[in-house]
Amino acid sequence: MTVKLTVLSAVGSLVWGTLLAAMRVSPVPLMRGFGTVYVNVVRNIPLTVIILFSSLGLADIFGMTMGSDDFAVQGFRLAVLSLAGYTAAFVCEAIRSGINTVPLGQAEAARAIGLSFSQTLTLIVLPQAFRSVIGPLANVLIALTKNTTVAAAIGVAEAAYLMKTMIENEAQTLLIGAVFAFGFVVLTLPTGLFLGWVSKRLAVKR
């Protein structure tokens, strides 16, 4: 469950975060404003609050059922939505700092051969920006993996939820705690190592 939650939220946050970053560098003031406000609001609210709000607010008050009546499925989908929305703010800022590392001349050259703004961004600037921020993005993804534990608050049966149940039923608190902690290291360590390797392979030489 933890893995599924992480992967889906990671994909969601990368897509949404990239779009937010594109908005924040776009020439349209409205989009820039939206991106800025979104990032500054979302990243300053504790994740627990966001997840609880999605469950109590979106689901219970506004009756958002996320396309399912099943409480467990609904909780899972809300958790993915919240985690992706929250992490996207950090992904956006990482990518935006990457965009700033791409020399201005690259975008000028792209415009000079007749590429549109979106082509310049997707073909020239973002590919180079991504390569320079794989390290920081790895941080964000590792934090996301660990943040999935907050989903336990709305009853999603991910690792922390299972751990709590097991500790309530068994006596060996320390052992169970250690096993789960180790489980997370097993998940996050390879992520970090793999992305470190990728970032070295893809580095753009100037």
**201 counts as binding other proteins under rule CB under 8 A:** no
Give 39 or 107: the residue with its C-beta nearer to other proteins: 107
Total of residues contacting other proteins (CB under 8 A): 22
**206 counts as binding other proteins under rule CB under 8 A:** yes
Minimum distance of other proteins from residue 193's CB (angstroms) = 23
Residues 191 and 143: beta-carbon distance below 8 Å: no
**63 counts as binding other proteins under rule CB under 8 A:** no
**105 counts as binding other proteins under rule CB under 8 A:** yes
| Site stretch for other proteins (CB under 8 A), options 63-71, 74-82, 125-133, 156-164 | 125-133
**67 counts as binding other proteins under rule CB under 8 A:** no
Choice from 100, 101, 116, 165 touching other proteins (CB under 8 A):
116
Q: Which residues contact 159 (CB under 8 A, 6 or more apart)?
A: 1, 2, 148, 149, 180, 183, 184
Choice from 36, 48, 119, 139 touching other proteins (CB under 8 A):
119
Burial (CB < 10 A; 0-12, 13-18, 19+), residue 83, is: buried
Q: Which residues bind other proteins (CB under 8 A)?
A: 27, 103, 105-106, 108-116, 119, 123-124, 127-128, 131, 204-206
